[in-house]
Amino acid sequence: MSVGLLVAICLVAANLRTTLTGVGALLPEIEHGSGLTASWGGLLSTLPLLTFAATSPLVARASHRFGSARLLVAALGVLAVGTVVRSLPSVLCLFAGTVILSAAIAFGNVLLPALIRRSVPAHRIQGVSALYVTVMGLMAAVSSGVSTPLAHSVPGSWRTALAWGVAFTVAAFLAWLPRIRGDKPQESGGAAHSPVPWRSRLAWQVTFFMGLQSLAFYTAVAWLPSILIDRGMSSTTAGWMLFSYQVVSLAASSLLPLLTRGRHDQRWTAAGASVLVAGGFTVLAAAPALSVLACTLLGLGGGACLVLALTFQSQRAGSSGEAAALAGMAQSIGYLVAAAGPLLLGILHDTTHSWTLPLVVLAVLGVATAVAGHGAGQDRHLQ
């Protein structure tokens, strides 16, 4: 495993959330500038997840036909186009660009665990997964933190702020372009011969753990600033609170492999991390003044859950083909579950004119995540 491959993996990881997390910090301004209601804002935040769900099942077969590196380079090119389209001065472009870039990210989401399973020794999978999750989290945090100040200081306001991450997309595209050479479709596409494990109990546990932890993350990214602003916090401070949540998440995802080194059974680790997330939403609902504590709990639990969810998609598979099939299932069904979060929260808020009930629902779902994580953390492969 070369340093060049690690750098290339990290550059892809830098693009998997950067274009999405800034939307949450900018959502109040997007709604004001575009005339969108909270429900439409929730739909804008949900569209990426719906697109992930629709696109993820297509990746394994496409990888078999074209090769993983070729497919990844094409996805990065589409991601750059979608990012630019989304920033154009039109509500239609805002939604269309979101769908385009989300489809590209879905390919990266599924290809990366399969590439890691194929290229990385088994005992290093969790470490490499944690590394790319760390990069992904760092860029997500930076995007959340700088988007609002950027929107206030550059021409084009929030539309320009939505497009700043395209520079990292170009860098990743250039890093992977030379890897097209020698990328044979037959070698990268064993996944097409591995059926989707619909009948595997373990696969469904991995899938629901992936979906519920994603629901918590994307809902927090979409609505946390709005919740804090509604309770008297300035938009800039709320953006930095979202940043701090993701910094804590980043720290948790970085430290988890060190704390669990040599431990193959991850049942209680996954369940415990999920309980922290449930606790964060509970604190946010019951004690709004303790928002720093709430964000800390959400970050600690969410960061650990993400590393585990992605690691399970590689570790619970017996081959790169099974990994791609499991990742396709976990991310298609999982993101369909996650898609309900931002939209449901927007509808509940519009109906009750309060954030209390939506936060209670999220806390209950955090407990359900613990149940799924306890099952997914078993030290065994698909059967």
User: Does the pLDDT value for residue 189 go beyond 70?
Assistant: no
Contact assessment for residue 101 and residue 19, using Cβ atoms and an 8 Å cutoff = yes
Please, what is the end-to-end C-alpha distance for the chain in angstroms?
29
Taking the CB of residue 186, how many other CB atoms lie within 10 A of it? 9
Per-residue model confidence (pLDDT) at position 262: 64
Task: Give domain limits for the chain.
Answer: 3-376
Rounded to whole angstroms, the Cα distance separating 114 from 245 reads 29
User: Does the pLDDT value for residue 194 go beyond 70?
Assistant: no
3-class DSSP state of 308: helix
Rounded to whole angstroms, the Cα distance separating 315 from 308 reads 10
Per-residue model confidence (pLDDT) at position 184: 67
**Nearest Cα to Cα of residue 79 among 124, 121, 48:** 48
Instruction: Note the Cα 162 to chain centre separation in Å.
Output: 17
User: Does the pLDDT value for residue 260 go beyond 80?
Assistant: no
Contact assessment for residue 345 and residue 358, using Cβ atoms and an 8 Å cutoff = yes
User: Does the pLDDT value for residue 373 go beyond 90?
Assistant: yes
Contact assessment for residue 82 and residue 101, using Cβ atoms and an 8 Å cutoff = yes
| pTM of structure | 0.76
pLDDT digits (tens, 9 = 90+) for 56-77: 888 878 887 888 888 999 999 9
Contact assessment for residue 160 and residue 87, using Cβ atoms and an 8 Å cutoff = yes
3-376 is a CATH 1.20.1250.20 domain: yes
Contact assessment for residue 102 and residue 47, using Cβ atoms and an 8 Å cutoff = yes
SS3 content of the chain, % helix, strand, coil (to 5): 85, 0, 15
User: Does the pLDDT value for residue 191 go beyond 70?
Assistant: no
Per-residue model confidence (pLDDT) at position 193: 53
pLDDT digits (tens, 9 = 90+) for 322-336: 777 888 889 889 888
User: Does the pLDDT value for residue 306 go beyond 50?
Assistant: yes
CA distances from 263 to 98, 269, 377 (A): 39, 10, 11
